[in-house]
Amino acid sequence: MGHKGTETRERILDASEKLIESGGYFNAGLNQVIAVSGAPRGSLYFHFPEGKDQIVGESLRRAGATIGGVLEGLADSGGSAAEFVEAVIAHLGDRLEESGWARGCPVATVALEMAAVNDDLQQACSDVYTAWTAALASRLDGRLDADDLAVTLLALIEGGLVLAKAHRSREPLERVGRQVATLLP
């Protein structure tokens, strides 16, 4: 694939990612993706012959890798496990607030909408959450309960993002951050 083809494919994924994150699976219709990306309809089918679900699945994995990269970067910055998780919460809160409360978790809405009815998208969501859980667990200083605690932390963060988005306020995330300090002394 040439430079132009790669650029078009990336624009389609960028558009899909944005639409999914702000409104879920049903907000990312092919017509919406075309409108936001500016890509010709034929390019959509050329790059994604399996259609919408392929676009959404790749967008989820791509967004998951982006957040995973943030987790890795914050993990490499040193500090305690609690400071790491608090930095993750702060980053995600900044991202949410800067987007006008539109960009919460790039996976949660699709997981809620599609996990029970679409095996491929359920697997994409599961893969992303598994990677994030592993990234959190790796920073829990060798605790025996690291995997369980990482799932708990991810659930707190995800819930905090949903509540922050619903309230259009960082307060739920700040409360989650205070509880992280009690879980990770």
The model's pLDDT over 135-163, given as tens digits with 9 standing for 90+, comes to 999 998 788 899 999 999 999 999 999 99
Domain CATH code at residue 155? 1.10.357.10
36 domain-assigned: no
Q: How is residue 16 written in tokens?
A: 């899909």
- As a whole number of Å, the CA-based R_g of the chain is 17
Q: What's the total number of domains in the chain?
A: 1
Q: What is the pLDDT of residue 1?
A: 62
Structural domain of 145: 53-183
Model confidence at 119, pLDDT cuts 50, 70, 90, reads: very high
Q: What's the pTM value of the predicted model, to 2 decimals?
A: 0.92
Q: Which residue has the higher pLDDT, 118 or 104?
A: 118
Q: Tell me, what's the pLDDT at 146?
A: 94
Q: With bands split at pLDDT 50, 70 and 90, how would you rate the model's confidence at 2?
A: confident
For residue 19, being part of any structural domain is answered with: no
Over the stretch 58-86, which tens digit does the pLDDT of each residue have? 999 999 999 999 999 998 888 899 999 99
